Amino acid sequence: MTKFSDLNLSPKVLKAIDEAGYETPTPIQAGAIPAAIEGKDVLGIAQTGTGKTASFTLPMITLLARGRARARMPRSLVLCPTRELAAQVAENFDTYAKHVKLTKALLIGGVSFKEQDQLIDKGVDVLIATPGRLLDHFERGKLLLTGVQIMVVDEADRMLDMGFIPDIERIFSLTPFTRQTLFFSATMAPEIERITNTFLSAPERVEVARQATASERIEQGVVMFKPSRRDRADKEKRTILRSLIDAEGDKLVNAVVFCNRKMDVDIVAKSLNKHGVDAAPIHGDLDQSQRTATLDKFRGGELKILVASDVAARGLDVPSVSHVFNYDVPSHAEDYVHRIGRTGRAGRDGKAVMICGPRDDKNFADIETLIQKEIPRIENPLGDVAEASATPEEAKEGKPKRRSRGGRGSRNKDQQSEATEAAPTQQEEPQAKERNDRNDRNDRKKSDNNRRGRGNDDKVVGMGDHMPSFIAMSFEERRAS
């Protein structure tokens, strides 16, 4: 069995690894570290959670141990798609470089430019950055990339999803052609493959099979949800989520709720808080200080529920998460394994529950195909949502009663028909009775006209038969004269 001592790492790095409690490298580490130390370009294909962060930090520390950085010219560059992932990479450098004198700087959004400029001016060996903030510093003339010896692109597939590929290409063009490139991605989309063919030179390809199965210690379940009405779907879905959380009782120590959209992250967190559940959102639109404070509270046990999007959850490393709730079915099957992998870590038991709506059938089928396992169905805690939301009369009939939209006239007609059904014996031959009444009215009208000297041929034009007799008196007097 391969050990870290077999990978040609420096003694100081091996000492830090030993103090961290690691002995055996993961497959991606065993394949990438030796090639990186030899100075080769590396193309690593592996999912998050396979240990690839150490697969580039360890050889970088070994290679950068000698030498000194110059002002505004970092010796190495690590690009990450999100602030949280960049912060996690920085923590890895702190862990494994504590016996080596290396300086680093973290360039991410939401932090003062002035503080970052001061670090760059002193000169850094390792620069960890998100693409947008890195280019901001470069365009302000505060940073030069001509001294980069090692360049790392982490989570390239997420870079593609977030629209960073043009920025990545520009950053590549600003670095020396002689640099060493370490490129990591979970998938190889055509756009990513084009970049690797353009900017990597004869790379050592290290591919680790995707994580297609979840830990056996994770209890999985899914609620098949069908809303009573389309306009009630979101509200009923949030009610189901709260019911699932309440049903866990004391078993739920803390949990991560995953949503597909940032807008839903805010709405779900607000809904949970409104109903007495301690929750906070985390997504890309929040200030970095707020995101950091939220994560610190969650890691420290002060926050019970963390509502997150996939992008914001990258780099989220909390070993003791008891539950994961998929409020939305992920659009990519691999993301399901990544999400539920946040629980059941370090030998602990975990539970993952997902809410699946009618529109999620295809994505849900892809998930079961990927993990090659049928996810157990959980009974909807609200029962039959459509029946529960109907009125007692509607529930008794089995379906909601259609109400007329014809206005007051339609309601009067309904009331008349209901009265007819309620007392049919009180109306004998209604049609004949109505006809007789109409004839009586006509006879009375003819009699009045004859009494005033007006026949049917002497009607006042434009006034109508319904005109009261006193109005026509003045006309009759003029006609007589």
Percent of the residues in the chain that have a pLDDT greater than 70, as a whole number? 75
pLDDT band, residue 185 (cuts 50/70/90): confident
Residues forming a β-bridge with 353: 221, 325
CA 301 to chain centre: 23
Token output for 137:
């510093």
Neighbours of 456 (CB within 10 A): 10
| 302 to 278, 367, 403: CA distances (angstroms) | 9, 33, 50
CA distance 51 to 44: 11
Give pLDDT tens digits for 119-168.
Answer: 899 889 999 999 999 999 999 999 999 999 999 999 888 888 788 999 99
| 301 to 254, 295, 306, 317, 394: CA distances (angstroms) | 8, 10, 11, 14, 46
Q: How many CA atoms, within 13 angstroms, populate the side-chain half-sphere of residue 2?
A: 13
pLDDT band, residue 212 (cuts 50/70/90): low
* DSSP three-state, residue 221: strand
- The domains located in the chain, with CATH, are 4-207 (3.40.50.300), 218-397 (3.40.50.300), 452-481 (no CATH)
Q: Return mean pLDDT, the chain.
A: 81
Give pLDDT tens digits for 2-25.
Answer: 889 999 999 999 999 999 888 899
Q: What is the pTM of this model?
A: 0.63
Least trusted range by pLDDT, from 47-51, 158-162, 180-184, 334-338: 47-51
Alpha helices, H only, 77-205? 83-96, 113-122, 131-139, 156-161, 165-174, 190-199
Order of strands, edge to edge, in the sheet holding 150-153?
Answer: 104-107, 126-129, 76-79, 150-153, 180-185, 42-45, 204-207
pLDDT band, residue 388 (cuts 50/70/90): very low
